[in-house]
């Protein structure tokens, strides 16, 4: 913000803000107010008296000049029956890394975290993870079967499902491989590609506990198998304790039907747990007495430890945070006052605090958490920083309500080695160079 003000004021009145950045907060605000008044006077005077060639109507759209779009009628209602972003936002899209997987049918796309505001990810920017491509499911023909160790097996249509009481909750979903390419060293200089496998939405559907109560579970039913209708028949075992807690069978996302890539017409939402447990295109729930040990919970989504053994069923996504501005895609534009901003989350509950360091972790300051702060949801944080133009190492660390502290990379490697792909929640370091560019580094 201050960088933009600086450029505007230099254009219209020749006043630079560097002096204000050395002043206390009250004086800085007074300096900015006076400077903007002067700038406004120059703009008015130039426009009326013709003494400022930089403010000619043909060259700029600064007030009080009347911009071209104010002089004509625009498109009418329902020009776009389903609203679309402005063409000026065409670069805000999901992206993939072509060399990361052999083909797109079993691959990932990354959310543009650097461009997002607030905690809700727009449906069209929510990250994707497919194991066999995206099926086109006809909701009129789709059914959900609940069977196994139950008293009353049932098969539900979408109409049947929506007759049950609904709930809405805001939760993040994160792929456990988020950041997984970085275990052995810095690989990609991009916030989007490093951390973009996390998104957050308001989910609406039916509590899984309500459906299980409807079928009546037998006493020996301790586990649940969730199966998707995609070509991979994605399946995961879920302990009954979690199934009866906060899991929902969701049919809506951010107020509308699920998007096709997010599991339309129904998916599981398993708050705080690995994204692969949030089974999409849900078609079958089976109650059993033990885990099924399917492919996606044995050869995949297990953590290879330093001694060669595999750590299985690491469902919970540990607390994590990352600075989203500045970042490699959002460099600094000269010294001055900036807001260091970022997101934090925890699969164990609420974010309690976030600390920020500008010197690689030697000193920390507590950031401001922005409301709302909710359990198993993204939380925004910010901290004002007066950058003097010297090199800096920006870091953030989150503490959740259980007291868990986001680890350094060395602490995480000491505990888990470097053979794993999953659950890399180490502190991220951004190196700021004197020219304002930002690089991904490990310290």
Q: What's residue 140's pLDDT? A: 98
Q: What's residue 322's pLDDT? A: 98
Q: What's residue 30's pLDDT? A: 46
Residues facing residue 226 across a β-bridge: 236, 285
Give, in degrees to the nearest 5, the angle at Cα 155 between 154 and 161: 100
Render pLDDT for 199-212 as a digit per residue (tens, 0 to 9): 999 999 999 999 99
- For the chain, what is the largest distance between any 2 Cα atoms, rounded to a whole number of angstroms? 87
Q: What's residue 308's pLDDT? A: 83
Counting Cα atoms < 13 Å in the Cβ hemisphere of 305 gives 7
Terminal C-alpha separation, the chain = 30
| Confidence grade of residue 170 (pLDDT, cut at 50, 70, 90) | very high
Arithmetic mean of pLDDT, 151-175: 98
Residues facing residue 365 across a β-bridge: 356
Report the C-alpha gap between 375 and 349 in whole angstroms: 4
Render pLDDT for 294-335 as a digit per residue (tens, 0 to 9): 988 988 899 888 888 888 899 999 999 999 999 999 999 999
Q: What's residue 259's pLDDT? A: 98
Render pLDDT for 331-360 as a digit per residue (tens, 0 to 9): 999 999 999 999 999 999 999 999 999 999
Angle between helices 25-49 and 2-13 (to 10 degrees): 40
Q: Is the pLDDT of residue 226 over 90?
A: yes
| Confidence grade of residue 49 (pLDDT, cut at 50, 70, 90) | very low
Render pLDDT for 132-144 as a digit per residue (tens, 0 to 9): 999 999 999 999 9
Render pLDDT for 384-426 as a digit per residue (tens, 0 to 9): 999 999 999 999 999 999 999 999 999 999 988 888 889 999 9
Q: What's residue 18's pLDDT? A: 36
Q: Is the pLDDT of residue 28 over 60?
A: no
Q: What's residue 420's pLDDT? A: 84
Q: What are phi and psi of 273, to 5 degrees?
A: -100, 165
How does strand 336-345 pair with strand 379-387?
A: antiparallel
Q: Is the pLDDT of residue 40 over 80?
A: no
Give, in degrees to the nearest 5, the angle at Cα 62 between 57 and 66: 55
| pTM flag (> 0.95) | no
Render pLDDT for 67-111 as a digit per residue (tens, 0 to 9): 999 999 999 999 999 999 999 999 999 999 999 898 999 999 999
| Confidence grade of residue 25 (pLDDT, cut at 50, 70, 90) | low
Q: Is the pLDDT of residue 44 over 50?
A: no
Render pLDDT for 58-76 as a digit per residue (tens, 0 to 9): 466 788 899 999 999 999 9
CA distances from 435 to 205, 280, 391, 439 (A): 49, 45, 9, 12
**Does residue 319 contact residue 346 with C-beta atoms inside 8 Å?**
yes
**Does residue 171 contact residue 142 with C-beta atoms inside 8 Å?**
no
Positions of E strands within 142-289 = 143-148, 154-157, 167-174, 198-207, 223-228, 235-239, 248-253, 256-257, 267-269, 282-288
Arithmetic mean of pLDDT, 26-42: 44
**Any residues with CB less than 8 A from the CB of 221 and at least 6 apart, and which?**
148, 149, 150, 240, 287, 288, 289
């Amino acid at each position: 913000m201050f960088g933009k003000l600086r450029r505007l004021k230099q254009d219209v009145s020749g006043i630079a803000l560097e002096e204000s950045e050395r002043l206390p907060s009250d004086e800085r605000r007074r300096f900015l107010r006076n400077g903007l008044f002067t700038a406004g006077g120059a703009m008015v005077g130039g426009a009326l008296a013709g003494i400022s060639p930089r403010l000619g109507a043909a060259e700029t759209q600064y007030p009080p000049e009347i911009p071209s779009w104010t002089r004509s009628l625009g498109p009418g209602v329902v020009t776009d029956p389903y609203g679309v972003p402005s063409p000026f936002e065409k670069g805000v899209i999901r992206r993939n890394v072509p060399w990361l997987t052999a083909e797109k049918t079993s691959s990932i796309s990354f959310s543009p975290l650097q461009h997002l505001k607030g905690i809700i990810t727009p449906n069209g920017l929510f990250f994707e993870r497919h194991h066999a491509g995206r099926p086109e499911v006809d909701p009129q023909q789709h059914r959900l079967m609940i069977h196994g160790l139950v008293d009353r097996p049932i098969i539900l249509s979408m109409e049947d499902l929506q007759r049950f009481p609904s709930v809405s909750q805001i939760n993040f979903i994160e792929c456990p491989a988020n950041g997984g390419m970085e275990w052995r060293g810095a690989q990609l200089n991009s916030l989007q590609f490093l951390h973009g496998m996390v998104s957050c939405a308001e989910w609406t559907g039916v509590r899984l506990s309500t459906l299980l109560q409807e079928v009546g579970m037998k006493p020996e039913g301790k586990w649940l198998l969730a199966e998707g209708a995609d070509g991979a028949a994605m399946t995961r075992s879920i302990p009954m304790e979690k199934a009866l807690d906060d899991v929902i069978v969701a049919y809506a996302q951010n107020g509308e039907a699920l998007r096709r890539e997010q599991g339309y017409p129904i998916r599981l939402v398993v708050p705080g747990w690995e994204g692969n447990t949030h089974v999409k295109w849900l078609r079958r729930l089976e109650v059993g007495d033990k885990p099924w040990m399917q492919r996606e919970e044995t050869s995949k989504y297990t953590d290879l430890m330093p001694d060669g053994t595999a750590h299985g069923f690491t469902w919970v996504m540990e607390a994590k945070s990352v600075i989203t501005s500045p970042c490699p895609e959002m460099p600094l534009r000269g010294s001055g006052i900036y807001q260091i901003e970022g997101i934090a989350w925890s699969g164990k509950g609420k974010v309690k605090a976030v600390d920020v360091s500008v010197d690689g972790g030697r000193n920390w300051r507590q950031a401001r958490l922005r409301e709302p702060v909710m359990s198993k949801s993204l939380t925004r944080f910010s901290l004002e920083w007066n950058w003097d133009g010297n090199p800096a190492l920006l870091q953030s660390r989150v503490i959740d309500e259980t007291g868990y502290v986001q680890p350094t990379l060395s602490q995480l490697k000491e505990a888990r080695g470097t053979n794993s792909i999953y659950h890399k929640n180490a502190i991220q370091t951004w190196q700021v160079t004197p020219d304002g560019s930002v690089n991904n580094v490990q310290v």
